Amino acid sequence: MTSPDPVLITGCSSGIGEATALMLVRAGHTVYATARRPETLADLEIAGARILALDVTDEESMAAAVKAVEDEHGSVGTLVNNAGYGEYGPVEETDLARVRTMFETNFFGLSRLTQLVLPGMRRAGRGRVVNISSMGGRIVFPVGGYYHASKYAVEAISDALRVEVKPFGIDVVVVEPGLIRTGFEGRVNEGIASDAGLTSDQSAYAELLAKSGKATTENYSTRLAVGPDSVAKVVLKAVEADRPRTRYVVTPAAKAMIALRKLGGDRVWDTFVRAQFKL
């Protein structure tokens, strides 16, 4: 792969997407930073990124963004699928309409945008797809089942795609962040609180929800959590490597928990999780 540029990144209005776009621009890459509301990307534009409107739940928006890049460069060099969020709650009580909406962003939007860039990459004989997953695509905590399911889906589609497109000179990379300070934990707790009945006395899971909210807040305030630049550095490495890894795990804590889940099996992991949530 002679060049990873141009780089098209989704979800750049804040957090990991913003940090990644800024780091890649500073490293000299041609970066197309995108968000549903491009006015949120003013600082990235000043820094040198090119700005596009892109909503991964809207077909016309995705097609227009890809066309804009291809009209100027022939193909997208690297696609960084970063846009995503978490919908949390017990499996029994969480509103499935909200879960479907989350999957539209976290999985179907990622999949469709990938479909749109692949023909150009195949014509060019090169390309790279970097999917931002999560340690939550390898391990699962209670109250996060639906979010974890969306990330497990990203892991699965990445594994299939990696083999399918390798003959065309296209690499597929999965980045799996641990706890990253992006405000994610606040949005998770707000989402749970706004779901009717979940934290009321009528919920069978009220005690679990209270413990989950407390644990989430505490964990993100410890050294287990790092800033979004830590993920951006890994994405930069994945973009620039001649032979990138298939997976990059971000944070030592995430590596340790994934190893515990893999080596310990179900019983050890369940015991660990129950201890964490005092269940």
Residues identified as active-site: 13, 133, 147, 151
Where would I find the H helices in 173-220?
184-194, 206-220
Angle, vertex CA 72, rays to CA 69 and CA 76, nearest 5: 40
Judge contact between 6 and 30, C-beta under 8 A.
yes
Rounded CA-CA distance 258/139 in Å is 6
3-state secondary structure of 265: helix
Rounded CA-CA distance 4/155 in Å is 22
Residues 6 or more apart from 61 whose CB is under 8 A from it?
Answer: 36, 53, 54, 55
**The tokens of 114 are what?**
């990938």
| Residue carrying structure tokens 């939550």 | 136
List, in sequence order, every beta strand (DSSP E) within 112-252: 127-132, 170-177, 247-250
- Pick from 15, 17, 82, 22: nearest CA to 220: 15
Half-sphere exposure (Cβ direction) of 168: Cα atoms closer than 13 Å = 17
- Pick from 128, 31, 39, 20: nearest CA to 83: 20
Rounded CA-CA distance 279/274 in Å is 5
